[in-house]
Amino acid sequence: MFFRTLAFAAAVGSAVAQRPANMSICDYYTTALLTNNTAANQATLLTLVVNTAVIGNYTQPNVGVSVPGILAPGEVNGIAVNLLPYFDGGFASTNTGGSAGMAVNFLDGGGAAPLMKNMPANDNTSAQYILLTHLYEYFGVLLGCSMQGGAAYPAYAGHASMYSVHKFMDLSYAEVTYFIDQVALSAMSFGVAKDDLTAVGTALTTLFGYRCEPPMTVVPSQGPQLESICIDSTCPLAANATCSSYATAMKPAIANSTLVPNSTTTSGGNASTTSGTSTSTSSMPATISKAAAATVGMSFAAVAGGLAALFL
């Protein structure tokens, strides 16, 4: 299955094939990689791309693009990034509806093992299952999957405002850029063409990578929402910024120090005061993955925004 899939990916990546203007990125690559542009195949494509972005490249063989993954530590423009404590319950950073973040373990459905089997989780009730399926759905909307909306590939059923979902994470420019880089590297590893990678990266940066963005519509049925995910002071300010719509952000408290690198715990146990940059709350210099740093650092050193420098 993977050999065939990735053989196609290699062909797509190297051939002169170009996506027709009237075909979405989702529809085009579903057809290129899985032949039939069905809802089930679109769901499979988004499962492969999201799972690879989260845990790093796991398909064998592959087209030679190494993806460290969102859960792996890395580096952006010389700033160490480690997103894992937001996902494993290390930080009290999840918006569960109250006035402060709560610790939630989103790796409670088997962690990486089911993802490597192209599944969201080992069950269908865990926080992991809900998060992963929502990511498959949301990124399907972003990539224009035309067949989404039925049982084989449900419409997005998660929270509407990406600001609201991520507000207690107080994410920095480096953290959001690292996440977007992993999505782009994942797509690249399946043979997505440069222009399409640039389009995806630009869209993600424009929609989520600025602070104080005015309401914007991502999921048409959900209407305009506050979408800023990058909200700490290192994030560039949006055009037409509406900062009064956004609450003052605070770095999340450490909920379980055994899940958070030492460099973070020693930065005060007072994570909320490290505004400005999140380097101190999320750095773990002793354990940076060299591969991750190399992959991202090579491409993103001194990049002011977006993915242009990686792919152009």
Ligand X SMILES: *[C@@H]1O[C@H](CO)[C@@H](O)[C@H](O)[C@H]1NC(C)=O
Minimal distance in Å, beta carbon 203 to ligand X? 14
Give the one entry of ligand HEM, ligand X, none that residue 268 binds, where binding means its C-beta sits below a cut-off of 5 to 8 angstroms depending on kind. ligand X
Tokens linked to 116: 């490597």
Query: CA torsion, points 77, 89, 94, 223, in degrees to nearest 10?
Result: 70
Give the one entry of ligand X, ligand HEM, none that residue 208 binds, where binding means its C-beta sits below a cut-off of 5 to 8 angstroms depending on kind. ligand HEM
The residue within the footprint of ligand HEM, chosen from 180, 255, 260, 293 (CB under 6 A), is 180
Which CB sits closer to ligand HEM, 65 or 143? Answer: 143
Tokens linked to 36: 């039939």
Residues binding ligand X (CB under 6 A):
20, 22-23, 35-36, 57-58, 60, 62, 64, 66, 124, 239-240, 256, 258-259, 262, 268, 270, 273
Count of Cβ atoms closer than 10 Å to residue 277 Cβ: 16
Which CB sits closer to ligand HEM, 29 or 87? Answer: 87
Q: Whole-angstrom Cα distance, residue 36 to residue 303? A: 38
At residue 161, what is the residue type?
A: S
Number of residues near ligand HEM (by CB under 6 A): 25
Convert residues 216-255 into a mask of x (bound to ligand HEM by CB under 6 A) and - (unbound).
-------------x--------------------------
Residue 45's nearest CA partner among 64, 24, 61, 18 is 24
Please report the DSSP string for 202-240 in residue order: HHHHHHHSSBTPPPEESSGGG-EE----B-STTSPBPTT
Which CB sits closer to ligand X, 212 or 302? Answer: 212
Q: Tell the residue number behind the tokens 């010389």, with chain if given.
A: 78
Candidates 5-13, 155-163, 266-274, 289-297 — which segment interacts with ligand HEM by CB under 6 A? 155-163
Length of the chain as a residue count: 312
Say whether residue 187 binds ligand HEM (CB under 6 A): no
Give the one entry of ligand HEM, ligand X, none that residue 36 binds, where binding means its C-beta sits below a cut-off of 5 to 8 angstroms depending on kind. ligand X
Minimal distance in Å, beta carbon 99 to ligand HEM? 15
Which alpha helices (H) appear in the chain, and where do they start and end? 2-14, 25-34, 39-55, 84-87, 112-116, 127-142, 162-166, 173-189, 194-208, 262-265, 279-282, 290-300, 308-311
Give the one entry of ligand HEM, ligand X, none that residue 118 binds, where binding means its C-beta sits below a cut-off of 5 to 8 angstroms depending on kind. none
Alpha carbon of residue 224 to chain centroid: 21
Minimal distance in Å, beta carbon 35 to ligand X? 4
User: In the 8-state DSSP scheme, what is residue 83?
Assistant: -
The residue within the footprint of ligand HEM, chosen from 83, 132, 231, 238 (CB under 6 A), is 83
Query: Cβ distance 179 to 70 under 8 Å?
Result: yes
Minimal distance in Å, beta carbon 149 to ligand X? 17
At residue 281, what is the residue type?
A: T
Minimal distance in Å, beta carbon 78 to ligand X? 22
Q: Whole-angstrom Cα distance, residue 182 to residue 300? A: 12
Candidates 52-60, 160-168, 260-268, 292-300 — which segment interacts with ligand HEM by CB under 6 A? 160-168
Residues 112-131 that bind ligand HEM (CB under 6 A): 130-131
Q: Which residues bind ligand HEM (CB under 6 A)?
A: 83, 86-87, 94-95, 106, 130-131, 134-135, 138, 158-159, 162, 165-166, 169, 171, 175-176, 179-180, 204, 208, 229
